[in-house]
A and B are shown apart, each in its own frame.
Chain A
Amino acid sequence: NAGVTQTPKFQVLKTGQSMTLQCAQDMNHNSMYWYRQDPGMGLRLIYYSASEGTTDKGEVPNGYNVSRLNKREFSLRLESAAPSQTSVYFCASKRQVTTYEQYFGPGTRLTVT
């Protein structure tokens, strides 16, 4: 099993450009999450999907959109990138209701100039 995979690993954007970060998991997990990690700020939730077909905002959703394409895939879109969105982005997934361990992807390092 590959676990949780993310593409791309690195990306540089100019202000105003758009892009989609891809995430996929092969563990048949129900819940998926997008976090951003900034120095000294911990992991902040952008959006999550409790199950296929549902998505909800997290703590810092402004400037982002998500799509839960199917049970495996959960993408994060930046419509008009801003320098404040420079960060490391992690996707995570979680199994069933009664287990709570989150499995994280390797991360995408995004720089917006």
Chain B
Amino acid sequence: GENVEQHPSTLSVQEGDSAVIKCTYSDSASNYFPWYKQELGKRPQLIIDIRSNVGEKKDQRIAVTLNKTAKHFSLHITETQPEDSAVYFCAASNASGGSYIPTFGRGTSLIVHP
């Protein structure tokens, strides 16, 4: 089955800096890669996703890049703000079959210091 590795497990940055979280996956059939943000005590919520036919996707201060050859994808957050502090999860899945079963990374705790 799919295996997703996520690094780093903790990331501490100063407000205004950029943050990068990286994930690797093992199954070359995976074609959908979402990122979820989970604030302390809250539920995970989708913030951005990318499909394998696209190399990069941006939404304001966040962007995701995908390298299918190397089987890795990354989340980039620019101009970080204290409200970006949360745990971020990446996931990978083969979304072309009948059932959608994503495999999640272990999460990255992002701390943005004011």
Contact = CB atoms under 8 A, between A and B. Distances in A.
B106 A50 contact: no
A58 B32 CA distance: 19
A94 interface: yes
Interface string A67-108: 000000000000000000000001000100100111011110
A60 interface: no
Interface stretch (B14-22, B60-68, B95-103): B95-103
Q: Which bucket holds chain A's interface residue count? A: 20 to 34
A90 B89 CA distance: 14
Nearest to B107: A42
Interface in A25-57: 31, 40-45, 48, 50, 56
Nearest to A106: B43
A10 B101 CA distance: 27
Interface residues of B, number: 22
Contact of A101 (B46, B89, B98, B101): B46
Given A102-B46, A107-B43, A45 B101 contact: yes
B100 A101 contact: no
A92 B34 CA distance: 15
B98 A50 contact: yes
Contacts of B49: 100-101
Contacts of A104: 43-45
Contact of B9 (A40, A44, A102): A40
B43 A105 contact: yes
A107 B32 CA distance: 25
A33 to B, nearest CB: 8
Contact of B105 (A42, A100, A107): A42
9 contacts: A42-B89, A50-B100, A56-B99, A58-B101, A100-B49, A102-B102, A104-B43, A104-B44, A104-B45
Interface of A: 31, 40-45, 48, 50, 56, 58, 90, 94, 97, 100-102, 104-107
